[in-house]
Amino acid sequence: MGGFTRVAMGVAAVLTLACAASPAAAQNRPEQAIVGAMQRFVNSLPFGGLLSPSQNQKSPPPGLGLMSPPGGVPGPAPLPAGPQLQSLAPAPAGPVAPLPLGPGPQLSVPPAAATISPAVPRDVPLSLAARYGRDSAPVNGGVVWRVYAVRPDITGAFRPLREDRTPTPNLALPPGDYVVHVAFGLASAAKTVSLRNEPVREVFDLPAGGVRIEGRVGDARIPHGQIAFDIFSGSQFETGDKRQVASGIATGDVVVVPEGTYHIVSNYGDSNAVVRSDIKVQAGKLTDVTVTHRAAVITLKLVGERGGEALANTSWTVLTPGGDVIKETVGAFPRVVLAEGDYRAIARNEGRTVEREFKVITGVDGEIELLAR
């Protein structure tokens, strides 16, 4: 039986004996009787008692203490020297810091189940290039690339998904089928492209060439702004309607068209100085075309006296000798470009009508004066 157990049992017995032995004392001075009985009992213990005065205490045998080996009687462990214990006071209100966890197994919360999302297909690289034809040079500029879905949208229209204007674009598109269209000037090509898992490279053949046109009268180049050109597909000698490819082309402009035969209409001025010619365009080549006109610039004047000032608000009509109207205009001195040939000019001013025949010589610009009578 442990030492603490024997002590407790002894204390209980002492209390019982004290109350039994001195009932009168217990009734008069109960606390003195109890203390005396306990003092006598504790002093009888081997190490001098817990409640003995310090001068009567006996030192416990070496090795005895609160954690003595079994069989020993624990005694009080001496307090080490140091600061005195302070009375406990209520802790101030505020957040309570978490207690640090000591070594050992920690309480862990199982992670939430991971959300599984469907795999998103990765975009597939698509590189594009264009050339003038098989075994020809690549197209280095001026191209427009457009990528369409193979099926129209809910409105029934095909709308471009991507557009790029670089010569050799590198695109990234989700796997699927697409229609790729490339335009180079008036030439174009399209094809269906299927994208799966591997990068795709597509080269488009554009059998196209360039056309550059200018006009001349004799050896003189017709100034910019006075001449314009229209291009039609096919030859002028072919039957049927001609499809207009381009219109209003200025001198020196380069027009890219698919290779083939074309019909050019050159309009010098806005009257009858018109020249028609056929050309052939080859793929990958620039075709320079010079159109020669047999015409001249004529200035018309109506004067009250020879060498006098031109009369304003004059109405003019220029006709061929057969009576075909070539030009109608209003002004003091209009300028008219006329093809080489014979003409008749009619001037009307303030109820007066004057006419005169004249001749146009190629490259000889001149002034035609009519005298009002």
- In terms of domains, do 242 and 225 share one? yes
**pLDDT bracket for residue 239 (50, 70, 90):** confident
Structural domain total, the chain:
4
Which tens digit of pLDDT belongs to each residue from 42-98?
A: 555 554 444 444 444 444 444 444 444 444 444 454 545 544 444 444 555 555 555
- 173 closest CA partner among 117, 138, 119, 128: 128
Report yes or no on 64 lying in a domain.
Answer: no
Cβ partners under 8 Å of residue 251, min gap 6:
213, 214, 215, 221, 222, 224, 227
Band of residue 238 on the pLDDT scale cut at 50, 70, 90: confident
The Cα–Cα gap between 144 and 288 comes to 24
Smallest Cα–Cα separation from 286: which of 260, 263, 249, 254?
A: 254
Q: How far is C-alpha 266 from the chain's CA centre?
A: 45
Residue 319 near residue 344 (C-beta atoms within 8 A):
yes
Tell me the pLDDT tens digit for each residue of 182-220.
999 999 999 999 999 899 999 999 999 999 999 999 999
The CATH number linked to 323 is 2.60.40.1120
Q: How many whole angstroms separate alpha carbon 297 and alpha carbon 317?
A: 16
C-alpha to C-alpha distance for 283 and 210, rounded to whole angstroms = 8
pLDDT confidence of 240, banded at 50, 70, 90?
confident
Domain boundary among 171, 205, 239: 205
Tokens of 253: 């402009």
Would the pTM of this model clear 0.85, i.e. be above it? no
| Same domain membership, residue 253 and residue 309 | no
Q: Mapping DSSP to helix (H, G, I), strand (E, B) and coil, where does residue 180 land?
A: strand
Asked if residue 136 is part of any domain, the answer here is: yes
pLDDT given for residue 36 in this prediction: 62
- In the numeric block, which tokens belong to residue 373? 């009578």
pLDDT at 171 over 80: yes
Higher pLDDT, 116 or 8: 116
Domain stop point among 273, 292, 311: 292
Distance of CA 316 to the CA centre of its chain: 60
With cut-offs at 50, 70 and 90, classify the pLDDT of residue 6: low
Residues in the chain: 373
- Among 205, 237, 272, identify where a domain stops: 205
pLDDT value for 60: 46
Compute φ and ψ for 310, nearest 5 degrees. -70, 140
Cβ neighbours of residue 327 closer than 8 Å, sequence gap 6 or more? 270, 271, 272, 316, 317, 318, 336, 338
On whether residue 94 sits in a domain, the answer given is no
Which residues form the domain of 139? 124-205
For residues 115-129, average pLDDT: 80
